[in-house]
Amino acid sequence: MSTERLIYLPLGGAGEIGMNAYVYGYGKPGKERLIVVDLGVTFPDMDTTPGVDLIMPDITWLRERKDQIEGVFITHAHEDHIGAVSHLYGELEAPIYARAFTANLCRRKMEERGHPVDAVTTVSAWPEVTKLGPFTIGVAPMSHSIPESGALVIDTAAGRVVHTGDFKLDPNPLVGEPFDPDMWAEIAKDGVQALVCDSTNVFSPNPGRSESELPDEITKLVAGCSGLVAATTFASNVARVKTLADAGERAGRSVVLLGRAMNRMIEAAKETGVLTDFPRTYSAEEAGDIPRDNLMLITTGSQGERRAATAQLARGKYRGLELKDGDTFLFSSKTIPGNERGVIYIMNQLSEKGVDVVDDRGGLYHVSGHANGPDLERLHDIIKPKMMIPMHGEHRHLRQHAKLATAKGMASAVVVNGMLMDLTGDAPKVADYVETGRQYLDGSVRIGALDGIIRDRIRMALNGHIVVTVILDEDDEPLGEPWCDVRGLPELGKSNAALVDILEEDLNQFLMRAGAKTLRDDDKLEDNLRRITRQTTRDEIGKKPEVSVIVSRMR
Amino acid sequence: MSTERLIYLPLGGAGEIGMNAYVYGYGKPGKERLIVVDLGVTFPDMDTTPGVDLIMPDITWLRERKDQIEGVFITHAHEDHIGAVSHLYGELEAPIYARAFTANLCRRKMEERGHPVDAVTTVSAWPEVTKLGPFTIGVAPMSHSIPESGALVIDTAAGRVVHTGDFKLDPNPLVGEPFDPDMWAEIAKDGVQALVCDSTNVFSPNPGRSESELPDEITKLVAGCSGLVAATTFASNVARVKTLADAGERAGRSVVLLGRAMNRMIEAAKETGVLTDFPRTYSAEEAGDIPRDNLMLITTGSQGERRAATAQLARGKYRGLELKDGDTFLFSSKTIPGNERGVIYIMNQLSEKGVDVVDDRGGLYHVSGHANGPDLERLHDIIKPKMMIPMHGEHRHLRQHAKLATAKGMASAVVVNGMLMDLTGDAPKVADYVETGRQYLDGSVRIGALDGIIRDRIRMALNGHIVVTVILDEDDEPLGEPWCDVRGLPELGKSNAALVDILEEDLNQFLMRAGAKTLRDDDKLEDNLRRITRQTTRDEIGKKPEVSVIVSRMR
């Protein structure tokens, strides 16, 4: 009979940045009791997921083991860690655990989707622990770009695992707890079986910088501005929002928070006591009565999101506020790869209005929330784990991080989504490969990444769409002529006649000549009509369109 | 009667980076003789131009003044300056002038599209000049990231204009002429009416770095590699390709150029004498017989282009060559904003193969081809123009560059595409606004950016497409039931029945109840069918699809 084992299985977040979802298990093979760490989303883009609303991990494996799940722990409230919780709750129905600020935001999400808010339990920070089945789990404070980020300290009979969540080594994060090397040394002192560790910034060669390096520069910048000042950052970066607000207040400006997420985050931070001395804020309506030179707007949309406050201000008025020549707009943020075009578009719209755009100026007005290469090594040195498993990174990050660990004598492995690892021994061992993937929230429906629906959308976008309709009478003879609906394609082709006319003529020619055998056979008829449509379109306009053929028989 | 004037009109490249096309004119208003400087393309993306092959400037204004055009000058052979020449030649039929290397590449393009290669005239560098109507035009060498980039020195009775083209101040560009401050001082000594100047890197605060700073580092890197070494850069950066090839040769590796553009560029550079001592190269077939540790591949596709050699090597085999664990891949390039996702995707594919990816490491293995802020000021100081017109930049670049000039006492203005400027006086004056825009090459057809075709493609990609077909008999009564073709949408909605069935039922219900007045009225009928289709789809799956309605009457 097989013995108990400790397993680790990433379902999202390992081999990508985003959509974090990790599973730990302890027990006899196949009978493990499970805990889930984070259930995040990732965001769609036009290139690969047009029209999709959200991307979530495929949790089929978990759903099939629903009864084995002890609970879901959320390390922090960034969307790539918390975003799928309420969407997937109905399938897992497992209790959710998080620290107060994260739990507050999680309950809001649960409520929005009609799930019970008391499924969310607030836990206190380490050294308090939660016992669930074979697990004893503590949430130990880690500094990050959001309050109350927590690393999990997971104890089982197979030893201690530290799952870092997202972190940086910030001695003074301004809001929330600093990184505490003594606490971590204490946690690690009896040995750590496995450190499962954030890899995002592994390629950054210098030690990371503290949030506390920014207020002086930001205050100086805002103090030197005339006109209206606006600034954007991630709403969840409560410390940064506070720094911006403080800078505004110090410059004698009234602070206005714009955007739903911005207001919700600050509200949650105040409600949970994370944020105590935030400047008085004014509503957009109140701002109308304040001279614009005395305003400091703090807005959502630092990544160029089209519906966020920043994009709306760049386009024109937003809630009665408008930017003008001589105003200043600060991007206190870094652009996430892939969002450059959207952000640059907004910067140019602002430039057209005469607004001076200030970006992070190579770090003067922004610091990262993740540990850099040397910081990762410092944590390795404090924790001294038997094995180090890199997570929260693309393949190249995981690979580099694993190299780093191996070079220092730790066991390590590049573990990507779907690799079920046995962490019980001296080194991580692959125990199984689990089918994983992505599912999409599309409107109100969940679809699979491989359902072909998105592929069809992409093809229509690249090639246009032609629908050919043919009606046949009771004797399988064409009833009238075929007709085409052409969408997303040029009207005129090389014959200088309407493409649709040429298509209909070619299709009609074919139908008139087609034998009874072809006309009777749906598949044959459709294949021929499709082939002719593609060929004629290619001749006329040099493109091979997507073609739907509808054969309707009057029987 | 009005006097003669000097005009400047950007049709592309001013307010954007890409698609350069500038017009200068001299003569009486409306009767000016014209020269065109550059006819470039810009590249489509899925967000805004799905399915499009190339983006070119709308040259309606020029076409309508075809008889006034003296010639087209191409400053250098980057696609955003030369790419549209052969596509638009048929409409302008104006002679083309360029230096030897640029002319060589231009002739290849003309030939490919069946245009006369003798429409392209090779001109020698300054002080040689070409006289065309009221213009005397010289092409003065400028250092850039391609050989033989030239600034134009355009003399008319209204004074001298210097149009920089793309440039940097490189004292040692390795291939091609260095920046020559003495020549430029000489050109400027009798006064320059207007400097029309590259703005790309205006936000870079430090002086630019020379191409000559790279060979040592690249040589060191390649010398330290075991396994196969591959490197990618822009094919047109002949100096860089040579540096990479030299580094390979010095490390005892056989050099293989992969990708059509790479081979074509090196061929053109050799043919025109720009490149004299390039290492011997081997074909992909020959490489098969060489130990892989002795190979140095230099590949196209530094921007992640899916069909280029780099992407193909990352996916699998390319012309018999394959990358493996322990190989090294150098990106000797910077990722152009918007291309990050594609490049990162490839880097991760390489990582999965065990290949060590080396990027530009913050400048160690790449330098920019454009003048930075301080370099621009240095050129201003040498040329001392009466007015400085920023070009080759997004709005924010032009604005910053104009500020720079104004602060130093030059007249300046932010001039974007379509602003027809009178440069005759002491300061640039807006003389007219010209309708400009973009046109797309889509398959073999040219379409306008505002034709609605691309908008339809984007909508189908975001919302899916449903085609509703209804047949009515001679009495305007429905003949059979309506049917729907659904594409790019989930099959099942909230009723857990097929969306298409529910739609057809709802539409049939409507038809059965519809009065004769509605059934007789095409518009009314279509509106109703569209409305029902959208409403039902929204209820079922939470999306509002694109809907085409086809009403066919058996008359």
- B113-148 residue pLDDT tens: 999 999 999 999 999 999 999 999 999 999 999 999
Contacts of A299 (CB under 8 A, 6+ apart): A230, A231, A232, A258, A259, A262, A308, A309, A310, A313
CATH 3.40.50.10710 domain span(s) along chain A:
215-358
Element containing residue B377 per DSSP (H, E): helix B373-383
Cross-chain residue pair A50–B461, CB shorter than 8 Å: yes
Rounded Cα gap, residues B150 and B139, in angstroms? 5
A456: nearest CB among B351, B487, B542 = B487
The answer to whether the CB of A212 falls within 8 A of the CB of A281 is no
Q: Check CB contact under 8 Å for B394 and A542.
A: no
- The residue of chain A with its CA nearest to that of B44 is A462
Per-residue three-class SS string for A122-188: ECCCCCCEEEECCEEEEEEEEECCCCCEEEEEEEECCEEEEECCCCECCCCCCCCCCCCHHHHHHHH
Across the interface, whether the CB atoms of B351 and A444 are under 8 A apart is answered no
Q: Report whether the peptide linkage leading into residue B127 is cis, meaning its omega lies within 30 degrees of zero.
A: yes
Block residue for tokens 């330290």: B224
Distance CA B280, CA B255 (A): 7
Asked if A471 and B467 come within 8 Å (Cβ–Cβ), the reply is no
| CB burial of residue B10 (10 Å; 0-12, 13-18, 19+) | buried
Q: What is the dihedral of CA A371, A377, A382, A385, to 10 degrees?
A: 110
The token pair that represents A134 in the structure block: 């074979």
Are the beta carbons of A457 and B458 separated by less than 8 Å?
no
**Closest chain A residue to B495 measured between Cα atoms?**
A445
Mutate to test the interface with B, among A348, A447, A504 (most CBs of B within 10 A): A348
Do the chains contact at B348 and A546, CB–CB below 8 Å?
no
The answer to whether B406 and B238 are in contact (CB under 8 A) is no
Sheet (strand B546-553) strand order:
B483-487, B465-472, B546-553
The reply to whether the predicted model has a pTM over 0.90 is yes
Contact A351 B488 (CB under 8 A): no
- List the one residue out of B536, B525, B550, B528 whose CA is nearest residue B489: B536
Cβ contact (<8 Å) for A337 and B338? no
Contact state of A445 with B490 under an 8 Å Cβ cutoff: yes
Q: Provide the 3-class DSSP secondary structure of residue B292.
A: helix
The span from the CA of A379 to the CA of A386, in Å, is 13
Of A50, A467, A480, the CB nearest to B548: A467
Domain B215-358 belongs to what architecture? 3-Layer(aba) Sandwich (3.40)
What is the per-residue DSSP string for B331-352?
E-S-PPTT-HHHHHHHHHHHHH
CB contact under 8 A, A487 and B461: no
Residue-wise pLDDT tens digits, B182-231 = 999 999 999 999 999 999 999 999 999 999 999 999 999 999 999 999 99
Decide if B471 and A467 are in contact by the 8 Å CB cutoff.
Answer: no
CB pairs under 8 A between A and B: 186
Q: What is the pLDDT of residue B246?
A: 98
What ipTM goes with this model? 0.94
Chain B interface mutation, best of A328, A404, A460, highest count of B Cβ atoms under 10 Å: A460
Q: What is the DSSP letter of A291?
A: -
CB atoms B47 and A490 under 8 Å = no
* Nearest one of A234, A245, A221 to A334, comparing CA atoms: A234
Q: What does the DSSP 8-state code read for residue B68?
A: G
Tell which of B457, B469, B502, B533 to mutate to test the A interface (max A CBs under 10 Å): B457
Q: Using CB atoms, pick whichever of A340, A460, A469 lies closest to residue B457.
A: A460
**Collapsing DSSP states into helix, strand and coil, what is residue A390?**
strand
Residues B533 and B468 sit within 8 Å (Cβ to Cβ): yes
Choose the closest CB to A548 out of B453, B457, B467: B467
Q: Is A205 exposed, middle or buried (0-12, 13-18, 19+ CB in 10 A)?
A: exposed
> CB distance A442–B483 less than 8 Å?
no
Distance (Å, rounded) from C-alpha B204 to C-alpha B371? 9
**Which residues, 6 or more positions from B525, have their beta carbon under 8 angstroms from its beta carbon?**
B470, B514, B518, B519, B549, B551
- Shortest distance between the Cα of A278 and any Cα of chain B, in A, equals 34
CA distance A238 to A244: 10
Strands B411-412 and B419-422: unpaired
Q: How many CA atoms lie within 13 A of A245 on its CB side?
A: 22
The DSSP annotation for B86-155 comes to HHHHHHH---EEE-HHHHHHHHHHHHHTT--GGGEEE---TT-EEEETTEEEEEEEEB-SSTTEEEEEEE
- Which residues, in sequence order, are bridge partners of residue A387? A194, A411
What's the Cα-to-Cα distance from B452 to each of A445, B213, B458, rounded to whole Å?
29, 49, 10
Angle at B222 between CA B220 and CA B223, to 5 degrees: 65
Task: Look at strands B21-27 and B33-37 and give their pairing.
Answer: antiparallel
Contact assessment for residue A397 and residue A370, using Cβ atoms and an 8 Å cutoff: no
Nearest-5° Cα angle at A414, A413 to A415: 100
Q: Parallel, antiparallel, or unpaired for β A135-142 and A129-132?
A: antiparallel
As a whole number of Å, the end-to-end CA separation of chain A is 66
CA distance A492 to chain B (A): 8
Whose tokens are 């696609």? That residue is B79
Partner residue opposite A445 with nearest CB, options B45, B350, B493: B493
Mutation site for A-interface testing, chosen from B358, B396, B439 by largest number of A Cβ within 10 Å: B396
For residue A399, the chain B residues in CB contact (below 8 A) are: 351
Helices (H), A224-330: 238-250, 260-271, 284-287, 309-315
The answer to whether the beta carbons of residues A197 and A230 sit under 8 Å apart is no
- Output the six-digit token pair for A196: 């499962």
Helix, strand, or coil here: B28? coil
Pairing of strands B483-487, B546-553: unpaired
Q: Tens place of pLDDT for every residue, chain A, 555 residues?
A: 469 999 999 999 999 999 999 999 999 999 999 999 999 999 999 999 999 999 999 999 999 999 999 999 999 999 999 999 999 999 999 999 999 999 999 999 999 999 999 999 999 999 999 999 999 999 999 999 999 999 999 999 999 999 999 999 999 999 999 999 999 999 999 999 999 999 999 999 999 999 999 999 999 999 999 999 999 999 999 999 999 999 999 999 999 999 999 999 999 999 999 999 999 999 999 999 999 999 999 999 999 999 999 999 999 999 999 999 999 999 999 999 999 999 999 999 999 999 999 998 888 999 999 999 999 999 999 999 999 999 999 999 999 999 999 999 999 999 999 999 999 999 999 999 999 999 999 999 999 999 999 999 999 999 999 999 999 988 999 988 999 999 999 999 998 999 999 999 999 999 999 999 999 999 999 999 999 999 999 999 999 999 999 998 887
Distance from CA of A488 to the nearest CA of B (A): 5
Copy the structure tokens of residue B399: 């604005």
| A491 CB-contact burial (10 Å; exposed 0-12 / middle 13-18 / buried 19+) | middle
Instruction: Give the Cα separation of A187 and A232 in Å (integer).
Output: 37
Contact B469 A464 (CB under 8 A): no
Q: What is the pLDDT of residue A361?
A: 84
What CA–CA distance (Å, rounded) separates B247 from B163? Answer: 36
- Chain B residue whose CA is closest to A44: B462
Which part of chain A has CATH 3.10.20.580?
464-553
Closest by alpha carbon to B102, among B118, B80, B86, B78? B78
Q: What are phi and psi of A210, to 5 degrees?
A: -85, 145
B457: nearest CA partner in chain A: A461
Determine phi and psi for A545, rounding to 5 degrees.
-80, 165
All residues at 6 or more sequence positions from A451 whose CB lies less than 8 Å from its CB, including other chains: B490
CATH number (3.40.50.720, 3.60.15.10, 3.30.1490.20, 3.40.50.2300) of A5-206+368-448 reads 3.60.15.10
Residue A462, min C-alpha distance to chain B (Å):
4
C-alpha A367/C-alpha A333 separation (Å) is 8
What is the domain class of A464-553 according to CATH? alpha beta
Residues 6+ apart with CB under 8 A from B523: none
The pLDDT of residue B385: 98
Q: What are the chain B neighbours of A51 within 8 Å (beta carbons)?
A: 461-464, 488, 543
* Residue ranges of chain A that CATH labels 3.60.15.10: 5-206+368-448
Are A483 and B395 in contact (CB < 8 Å)? no
The verdict on a CB contact (< 8 Å) between B447 and A396 is no
For every one of its 555 residues, what pLDDT tens digit does chain B have, with 9 covering 90 and above?
469 999 999 999 999 999 999 999 999 999 999 999 999 999 999 999 999 999 999 999 999 999 999 999 999 999 999 999 999 999 999 999 999 999 999 999 999 999 999 999 999 999 999 999 999 999 999 999 999 999 999 999 999 999 999 999 999 999 999 999 999 999 999 999 999 999 999 999 999 999 999 999 999 999 999 999 999 999 999 999 999 999 999 999 999 999 999 999 999 999 999 999 999 999 999 999 999 999 999 999 999 999 999 999 999 999 999 999 999 999 999 999 999 999 999 999 999 999 999 998 888 999 999 999 999 999 999 999 999 999 999 999 999 999 999 999 999 999 999 999 999 999 999 999 999 999 999 999 999 999 999 999 999 999 999 999 999 988 999 988 999 999 999 999 998 999 999 999 999 999 999 999 999 999 999 999 999 999 999 999 999 999 999 998 887
Q: Which helix (H) or strand (E) holds A404?
A: helix A395-407
Residue environment code for A27-54, b if the CB has 16+ CB neighbours within 10 A, otherwise e:
beeeebbbbbbbbbbbbbebbebbbbbb
Q: Distance (Å) from the C-alpha of residue B147 to the closest C-alpha of chain A?
A: 29
Parallel/antiparallel/unpaired status of strands A192-198 and A385-391 = parallel
The answer to whether B453 contacts A489, with C-beta atoms less than 8 Å apart, is: yes
Beta bridge partners, A129, equal A138
| Helix and strand counts by DSSP (H, E) for chain A | 17, 29
